[in-house]
């Protein structure tokens, strides 16, 4: 692997301070070069562009994700995930949605919400979707196969997860383009360097998304069906049901999380496999090989590279890292997945690794609730794709989007 530094990369070893613009094209096109240099220097550093301490070691990230002294819930006067404090009146609708998100809550509220939602995403429930995912993958390929070329992000990676989660929730699949638009505008709130325009766009999207789902929830309340909205309306744990606000926020979260990372991971996985020169017939020879291939794809080029946590008390993490309540830390999932102390040949794609592990779905109480669904979608979609198009190759060099946290391709132009 070439180790040319991003032009904005400045690391001061004595105080472990890093200056590195996450919008530096060399960096977001290949963050692993910078990670390799940082792994050689330190397991933790203060990233000045973000204003908090970051951790890149596999063991440290795994441990801190489970450390209950930290959490996702913003308390008191803590800054938000981008370090912002101040007037948020223009974010009223966004904040109202986020207020009820299990992703942003801690026990006991998180426990109650997750218990109510979890039954829809256990592996045995998700496995029932396999035939539908297979049929959808074949249908999409039927549409573009005669052309001899495609942008796999738009034509394949995006439609599968958004269609599946829309069908699960019970909203019309023809609304997928609108759902995607709302989702992208909301997710922009978690990007580095957001501005007033993107904030107002996210707020409007939150209001419109909530209104859309409120209408469908009303229909399901009057006429329950065999879908996730109906299940959430009926779900009860210890005598407690979801409030309407909790229901709407949970549906938005599931739609956003139910496609965003899977789209990126599908594209990243195809790129990884093609660049590795591996034989897809071997990678997807059977269920065991397919599962191993997907796990290594998740490790090798993850779709989410940083997750933040707030400190809830004064915490001394050693090595000069003393945190006050409200301070944030950055847990770098993509870097942890390439830790040379945890993986032999971390920068090599090796689906037959003896120990398969990754941080791509997080860990602890916020471990991704949709992990079984994401794994199934990836296993099925990639198997069908390489079975149908065994001679798949790049038409153009794949280019990543300027969205460092959410690491995914702008396009994936292929031909066969």
Q: Dump pLDDT digits (tens) for 37-72.
A: 999 999 999 999 999 999 999 999 999 999 999 999
Q: What is the mean pLDDT of the chain?
A: 91
pLDDT-derived band at 22 (thresholds 50, 70, 90) equals: very high
Which range (51-60, 90-99, 109-118, 323-332) has the least confidence? 109-118
Residue 2 clears pLDDT 50, i.e. is over it: no
Average pLDDT estimate for 393-414: 95
Question: From CA 28, how far away is CA 402, in angstroms rounded?
Answer: 6
Integer CA distances (angstroms), 71 to 87, 213, 281, in order? 23, 28, 43
Residue 86 clears pLDDT 80, i.e. is over it: no
The pLDDT of residue 5 is 74
pLDDT-derived band at 199 (thresholds 50, 70, 90) equals: very high
Question: From CA 169, how far away is CA 236, in angstroms rounded?
Answer: 17
Average pLDDT estimate for 335-339: 98
In the chain, what are the domain boundaries? 10-415
What are the residue ranges of helices labelled H in 170-241?
Answer: 176-187, 196-222, 228-234
Residue 213 clears pLDDT 80, i.e. is over it: yes
Which range (114-128, 316-330, 350-364) has the least confidence? 114-128
pTM for this entry: 0.92
Question: From CA 71, how far away is CA 150, in angstroms rounded?
Answer: 42
Average pLDDT estimate for 97-103: 88
Average pLDDT estimate for 198-223: 93
For the structural domain made of 10-415, what CATH number should be given?
A: 1.10.630.10
Could you give the 3-state DSSP secondary structure of residue 121?
Answer: coil
Share of the chain above pLDDT 90, in %: 70
pLDDT-derived band at 1 (thresholds 50, 70, 90) equals: very low
What radius of gyration do the chain's Cα atoms show?
Answer: 21
pLDDT tens-digit map of 247-306: 899 889 888 877 889 999 999 999 999 999 999 999 999 999 999 999 999 999 999 999
Residue 27 clears pLDDT 80, i.e. is over it: yes
Question: From CA 183, how far away is CA 161, in angstroms rounded?
Answer: 13
pLDDT-derived band at 79 (thresholds 50, 70, 90) equals: low
């Amino acid at each position: 692997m070439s180790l040319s530094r991003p032009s904005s990369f400045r690391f001061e070893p004595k105080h472990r301070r890093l200056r590195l613009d996450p919008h530096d094209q060399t960096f977001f096109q290949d963050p692993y070069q910078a990670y390799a240099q940082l792994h050689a220097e330190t397991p933790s550093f203060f990233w000045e562009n973000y204003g908090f301490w970051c951790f890149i070691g596999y063991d440290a990230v795994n441990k801190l994700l489970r450390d209950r002294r930290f959490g996702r819930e913003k308390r008191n006067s803590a800054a938000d995930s981008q370090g912002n404090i101040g007037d948020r009146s223009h974010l009223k609708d966004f904040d109202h949605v986020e207020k009820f998100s299990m992703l942003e809550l801690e026990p006991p509220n998180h426990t109650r919400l997750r218990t109510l939602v979890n039954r829809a995403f256990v592996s045995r429930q998700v496995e029932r979707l396999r035939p539908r995912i297979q049929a959808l993958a074949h249908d999409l390929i039927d549409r573009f196969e005669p052309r001899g070329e495609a942008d796999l992000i738009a034509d394949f990676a995006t439609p599968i997860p958004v269609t599946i989660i829309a069908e699960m929730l019970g909203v019309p699949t023809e609304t997928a383009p609108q759902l995607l638009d709302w989702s992208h505008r909301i997710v922009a709130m978690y990007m580095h360097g957001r501005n007033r325009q993107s904030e107002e766009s996210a707020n409007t999207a939150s209001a419109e998304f909530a209104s859309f789902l409120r209408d469908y929830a009303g229909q399901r309340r009057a006429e329950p069906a065999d879908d996730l909205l109906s299940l959430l309306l009926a779900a009860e744990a210890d005598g407690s049901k979801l409030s309407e606000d909790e229901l709407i926020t949970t549906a938005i979260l599931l739609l956003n999380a139910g496609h965003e990372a899977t789209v990126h991971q599908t594209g990243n996985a195809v790129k990884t496999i093609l660049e590795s020169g591996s034989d897809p017939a071997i990678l997807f020879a059977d269920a065991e090989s397919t599962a191993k291939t997907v796990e290594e794809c998740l490790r090798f080029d993850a779709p989410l590279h940083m997750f933040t946590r707030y400190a809830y008390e004064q915490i001394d993490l050693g090595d000069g890292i003393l945190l006050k309540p409200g301070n944030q830390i950055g847990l770098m999932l993509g870097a942890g997945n390439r830790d040379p102390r945890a993986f032999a040949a971390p920068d090599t794609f090796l689906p037959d690794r003896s120990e398969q592990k990754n941080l791509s779905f997080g860990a602890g109480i916020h471990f991704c609730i949709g992990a079984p669904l994401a794994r199934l979608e990836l296993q099925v979609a990639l198997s069908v794709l390489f079975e149908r198009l065994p001679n798949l190759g790049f038409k153009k060099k794949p280019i990543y989007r300027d969205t460092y946290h959410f690491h995914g391709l702008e396009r994936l132009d292929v031909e066969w």
